[in-house]
Chains A and B, each alone.
Chain A
Amino acid sequence: MTNNQSSEPDILYKIRKLVVEYHTRGVVVTAVDHVDLDIQRGEVLGLVGESGCGKSTLGKALMRMIEPPGEIVGGELWFDGTELLSLPEREIREYRGSKISMIFQDPMTSLNPVQRVDEHIIETIKVHEPETKKSAALERAQALFERLGIQKRRLNDYPHQLSGGMRQRTMVSLGLALNADLIIADEATTSLDVIVEAKLVDQLEEIRKEFWVTILLITHNIALVAQIADRIAVMYAGKIVEIGYVNDVFLNPLHPYTQGLLQSVPNIKFDEREDLFKMPGEPPSLSDPPQGCRFHPRCPHVMPICTQVEPQLLENSPDQLVDCWLYQNLPEGYESTIEVEK
């Protein structure tokens, strides 16, 4: 994106014009609509949005895990130089788990209830590295558990015997066992208590540095992103509306949705601003999104063009992209009605 810059960021995952649709009873729901996104190697990228904005669908699409009635209908997924959408299913399996690992909100859905935890980890290693001996795989599992602060003996437990926090750490260890390059954590801390969540976040931060792993943190918890992420991408109604470094976006949000969203996030600290912003309306249905900019019915700065023509996600500065007409040259025939400080 920043072609002229000398220090080009190292992009691990380049997503281009990704479109994911769900087809149910004749209705087409476009959950991910022409999304462009670069995930930089070694970063924690927070992908935030409200329920139904398409963030989970986007996360699953990155592993090509969209199941019917959903379908990836267009776009390119360039993971570390390989285009994943053109790979046969057999080859994509080598990416899932070993190169890209996913942690969900409820780890019980990903762990087999009748299989002991050590068996999960050993099996995962053996599937992807058949030459590794079982004893070596077990040693690796033990080392990972110790690294993540769980007693080795808990490897003998079944998933239901572990606490919620331990189960999530087990999922993290499955990703680390194969040296995954990318861990996608989809609301992975959402069902955890706040102290357990804080500890898991601390550990993600540590393993990111230690294992040089890239983390895509998909969450509705904007405060969590402020605490752990390097960059934040804000999604609204199937589109990414703003992306940038957390310091830029949190201090100087550009998109009116981002502005409203950040002002509606409760803050436990007492400061000068003690009222939450009351954003009018609700997010639209993806089966019938508004024409033009999808946020226009709720936007305080709406202009005539916003109701008719979709804006693009474009650079406002080299590090901050925004999908809003307020920051873009209007096509002929449209006039701005708002003075914007650029």
Chain B
Amino acid sequence: MSEKPEVNIRENLVEVINLKKWFQIQSGMLDGVLSRETIYVRAVDGVSFNIRRGEVFGLAGESGSGKTTIGRLVIRLEEPTEGEVIFDGIDLASVKPSEMRKMRRRMQVIFQDPMASLNPRMTIGEAITHGLKIHFPGDSENHRDTAFNMMEKVGLTPPSSFYDKYPHQISGGQRQRVVIARALVTLPDLVLADEPIAMADVSVRALLLDLMVRLKNELNLTYLFITHDLATAKYICDRIGILYLGKMVEIGELRDVYTHPLHPYTQALMAAVPIPDPRERRTQTMPAGEIPNPINPPSGCRFHPRCPIAQAICSSEQPELQELELGHLVACHFAEDFL
């Protein structure tokens, strides 16, 4: 496989293997003197998954699940404590910083808040061509045309009427499109979309989702779509991974996970999402307690203190992620009961 990587199309664009990220806690000076132990937040604690070329892979979970950290680790904005990220056959840990800069063209990001991620003193044109200047410096006479082309693709038309404007001079929906254009203008392979439309109003969301899917197909992109909004994820993700407290609890085709969740946490999460129909009011009760502190996560299965079906083994043994149905992986000692 490694002899002619340029003609070999791998099925997996990204392979994440046993990824860990522990953040050391900034403790007070006195704490540092008094305690010999270093305290860590185990934000990501041994997560493995693949992202197939051309798919939209969703990572979903509540706050503290580690989803945003995983996204940052995958595109190497953050160094892992342990584990590997293989991008198109290349172990990112082995890539030198100078090479990494070149790799950056191939992995781009769309963040949640377009106002915060756009420089208010940069025009739309400057923002979109910025990446081109870094990655294609020799081609500067074409940057404007390349940007115009991408602006048309994302619906900022005519481009000339937006190119010299500043972010505050355009609408929220248009800013969202600028952020998308800026991410895609270098023609990346992987796009990390971290809650990309969470700030957008519901009446403009459908158009943005549609745009992202259309561009994915047109430009052969692969998305890592990070979200807390399971209802929206349904309209864009092909497969989804559900995280709880730094661990992956379930992975599968979106339809399988949504219609037939096998992990008790996924089941609770799905039941908690409100359905926009007054005839279908929720009757299930919600799991007890709240998400525990990741500094000192529960032993065994991390969900066991809140789990309605927990047994003795759940507090002592950590369940492994196993493939219980074709392409449907679950980390639960008793998930087979739900098959």
Is the C-beta of B168 less than 8 angstroms from some C-beta in chain A? no
Which residues of chain B are within 8 angstroms of A165 by Cβ–Cβ distance?
Answer: 290
Q: Count chain A CB atoms within 10 A of each CB in B230, B285, B286 and give the residue with the most.
A: B286
Is the C-beta of B4 less than 8 angstroms from some C-beta in chain A? no
A276 pairs with B235, CB closer than 8 A: yes
Bound complex: CA A260 to CA B204 (Å): 11
Which residues of chain B are within 8 angstroms of A163 by Cβ–Cβ distance?
Answer: 290
Which residues of chain B are within 8 angstroms of A194 by Cβ–Cβ distance?
Answer: 62, 228, 230, 269, 272-273
Is the C-beta of A153 less than 8 angstroms from some C-beta in chain B? no
- Within the complex, the shortest CB–CB distance from A238 to chain B, in Å, comes to 15
Is the C-beta of A209 less than 8 angstroms from some C-beta in chain B? no
Task: Given A268-B230, A278-B210, A282-B172, answer yes or no on A223-B201 (Cβ-Cβ < 8 Å).
Answer: no
| Interface segment, one of B22-30, B125-133, B276-284 | B276-284
Is the C-beta of A224 less than 8 angstroms from some C-beta in chain B? yes
Is the C-beta of A197 less than 8 angstroms from some C-beta in chain B? yes
A residues 12-57 with Cβ under 8 Å of B?
Answer: 50-51
Is the C-beta of A277 less than 8 angstroms from some C-beta in chain B? yes
Q: In the complex, what residue of chain A is closest to B282 when comparing beta carbons?
A: A227
B231 pairs with A266, CB closer than 8 A: yes
- Within the complex, the shortest CB–CB distance from B296 to chain A, in Å, comes to 15
Is the C-beta of B165 less than 8 angstroms from some C-beta in chain A? no
Bound complex: CA A191 to CA B285 (Å): 21
Is the C-beta of B307 less than 8 angstroms from some C-beta in chain A? no
Q: Count chain B CB atoms within 10 A of each CB in A199, A247, A260, A276 and give the residue with the most.
A: A276
Q: How many A-B residue pairs have CB under 8 A?
A: 119
Q: In the complex, what residue of chain B is closest to A248 when comparing beta carbons?
A: B278
Task: Given A193-B228, A270-B259, A276-B235, answer yes or no on A247-B269 (Cβ-Cβ < 8 Å).
Answer: no
Bound complex: CA A282 to CA B205 (Å): 10
Per-residue interface assignment for chain A, residues 275 to 300, with 1 indicating a CB less than 8 Å from any chain B CB and 0 otherwise: 01111101100000000000000000
A264 pairs with B203, CB closer than 8 A: yes
Is the C-beta of B274 less than 8 angstroms from some C-beta in chain A? yes
Task: Given A195-B269, A268-B270, answer yes or no on A50-B228 (Cβ-Cβ < 8 Å).
Answer: no
Which residues of chain B are within 8 angstroms of A126 by Cβ–Cβ distance?
Answer: none
A227 pairs with B281, CB closer than 8 A: yes
* Cβ 8 A contact of B290, one of A196, A198, A247: A196
Q: Count chain A CB atoms within 10 A of each CB in B207, B229, B281 and give the residue with the most.
A: B207
A202 pairs with B286, CB closer than 8 A: yes
Per-residue interface assignment for chain A, residues 58 to 82, with 1 indicating a CB less than 8 Å from any chain B CB and 0 otherwise: 0000000000000000000000000
Which residues of chain B are within 8 angstroms of A224 by Cβ–Cβ distance?
Answer: 274
Per-residue interface assignment for chain A, residues 138 to 170, with 1 indicating a CB less than 8 Å from any chain B CB and 0 otherwise: 000000000000000000000000010100000
Which residues of chain A are within 8 angstroms of B273 by Cβ–Cβ distance?
Answer: 194, 223, 268
Is the C-beta of A269 less than 8 angstroms from some C-beta in chain B? yes
Which residues of chain B are within 8 angstroms of A269 by Cβ–Cβ distance?
Answer: 275, 280
**What are 20 A-B pairs with beta-carbon distances under 8 A?**
A193-B63, A193-B228, A195-B286, A198-B274, A222-B276, A226-B277, A227-B275, A250-B278, A261-B202, A261-B203, A266-B231, A266-B235, A267-B231, A267-B277, A270-B234, A270-B258, A270-B259, A279-B206, A280-B207, A282-B172
A residues in contact (CB < 8 Å) with B? 50-51, 163, 165, 193-199, 201-202, 220-224, 226-227, 246-247, 250-251, 260-262, 264-270, 276-280, 282-283
B residues in contact (CB < 8 Å) with A? 62-63, 171-173, 201-207, 209-210, 228-232, 234-235, 255, 258-259, 268-282, 285-287, 290-291
